[in-house]
Amino acid sequence: NAGVTQTPKFQVLKTGQSMTLQCAQDMNHNSMYWYRQDPGMGLRLIYYSASEGTTDKGEVPNGYNVSRLNKREFSLRLESAAPSQTSVYFCASSVVGSTNEKLFFGSGTQLSVL
Amino acid sequence: QQQVKQSPQSLIVQKGGISIINCAYENTAFDYFPWYQQFPGKGPALLIAIRPDVSEKKEGRFTISFNKSAKQFSLHIMDSQPGDSATYFCAASYGGTSYGKLTFGQGTILTVHP
């Protein structure tokens, strides 16, 4: 049981390049999330998906797109990377409706945009 | 726009001591307040959570104290151990589509000296 798996773990991009961060969960969770973590700012929600085929913007969605391919997979795409997108990206999943909704996070993708 | 403010940024405690981390929130619609623990190179993991209908919740050495009128909540770690050395994040969310759409505090780096 792997939980939430993110690939790649590290990536260096040049300004203007594009890339897709992959995320998959094997816990049969309905909801999935993308957060970014920056020093001194905690984690901020980029996008959220309540179920397959639905997505919703979070606090910082500009410059990103997402795809909920199926119940297991939720990808994050940077169409034209900018230095401001240098960050650690975390994917998470959770079960909708639990009293204490618990997010299960992946190990993160460390992205540097030069 | 930081809706959840966390302090201190860093904290050094001796083994066996009490670690206290404080958070204040602005949005009165928040009704779910979890704490997450993060070790280096890992994603955050849920530690303990509270809802505003109780003033305190205890799980082992970890206690959340909640003050609704002051819009503040805190994490107390009793008998702190070197293994507790990690970054701690408070967070808040409200019902609707998902309690997983969290607003995080800035984080506190806790170091427990042996």
Is the Cβ pair A107, B104 closer than 8 Å? no
pLDDT in tens, A46-101: 999 999 989 999 999 999 999 998 999 999 999 999 999 999 999 999 976 556 77
Report, as an integer, the average pLDDT of A95-110: 82
pLDDT in tens, B7-65: 999 999 999 999 999 999 999 999 899 999 999 999 999 999 999 889 999 999 999 99
Is the Cβ pair B43, A92 closer than 8 Å? yes
Nearest C-alpha neighbor of B23 from the set B71, B79, B95:
B71
**What distance in Å separates the CA atoms of residue B57 and residue B72, rounded to the nearest whole number?**
14
pLDDT at A113: 97
pLDDT in tens, A1-25: 689 999 999 999 999 999 999 999 9
A79 Cβ neighbours under 8 A, 6+ residues apart: A18, A63, A65
**Alpha carbon of A19 to those of A76, A114, B25: distances in Å?**
8, 14, 35
**What distance in Å separates the CA atoms of residue B65 and residue B79, rounded to the nearest whole number?**
17
Across the interface, which of A31, A100, A106 has its CB nearest the CB of B49? A100
Across the interface, which of B45, B89, B106 has its CB nearest the CB of A40? B106
Instruction: Give the single-character DSSP code of A83.
Output: G
- Amino acid letter, A29: H
pLDDT in tens, A31-45: 999 999 998 889 999
For chain B, list residues whose CB is within 8 angstroms of any CB belonging to chain A.
Answer: 4, 6, 9, 32, 34, 36, 41-46, 49, 89, 91, 93, 97-107
Nearest C-alpha neighbor of B63 from the set B87, B42, B33, B41:
B33
